[in-house]
Amino acid sequence: MVLRIIGLLLLIPLFDIVLLVFVATRLGPLPTVVLVVLTALIGLLLVRAEGRHTAQKIQTKLQRGSLPANELLDGGLLIAAGALLLTPGLVTDLVGLLLVVPVTRYPVRVATKRFVVRPYVNARTRGLYAGTAYTGGFPDPEEQEYDTYGTRDTHSSSDTYDVDRDDYNVED
């Protein structure tokens, strides 16, 4: 799998050169340079706008107290799109534009989660479930409920505390 990705990454500059030579022989050198610069500028403006929108979504999720996993992946894909758009060439500009547009970025994000993030997390945790961090010891399995995904719902534990009380026994 990794060798295929490396091979694809090595073929992109080759396709870029072939397409640039083809376009330059049809349109001429100056219009080809203008086309490459224009696609890069338009793409970078789109990256900037999408980056701001993604940053706002990250802030909103953080304020709600939820993890902005998809938004962080979108941010990484937008960084890759910006790098591809800065690279001169029509193929890299096309791939960069595909990563900028939310409709085409969604399947790339899903594939990235499936083929990159999950295998990495599984390798780092040696197959252990790394989705929950427990504080204060391990929860009692009998007191937990299952959520809609079949995983244990850690938010429905019976260890609740009244924050308005002033008398807590910390010796327990």
Greatest CA separation found in the chain? 83
pLDDT tens digits for range 23-40:
999 999 999 999 999 998
Predicted confidence band at 51 (pLDDT cuts at 50, 70, 90)? very high
Instruction: Tell me the CA end-to-end span of the chain in Å, nearest whole number.
Output: 53
Inside any domain, residue 164: no
Q: What is the mean pLDDT of the chain?
A: 80
Inside any domain, residue 97: yes
Residue 86 vs residues 50, 79, 127, 145: alpha-carbon distances, Å: 16, 11, 38, 50
Inside any domain, residue 86: yes
Q: Which of 64, 148, 77 is nearest to 109 (CA)?
A: 77
Q: How many domains does the chain have?
A: 1
Inside any domain, residue 62: yes
Structure tokens at 1: 């799998």
What's residue 170's pLDDT?
Answer: 52
Inside any domain, residue 149: no
Inside any domain, residue 159: no
pLDDT tens digits for range 132-166:
554 555 555 555 555 545 555 555 444 454 555 55
Inside any domain, residue 4: no
Give how far the C-alpha of residue 112 lies from the chain's centroid of Cα atoms, to the nearest Å: 7
Q: Which residue range forms the structural domain that includes residue 99?
A: 10-128
Asked if 95 and 77 touch (Cβ cutoff 8 Å), the reply is no
pLDDT surpasses 70 at 169: no
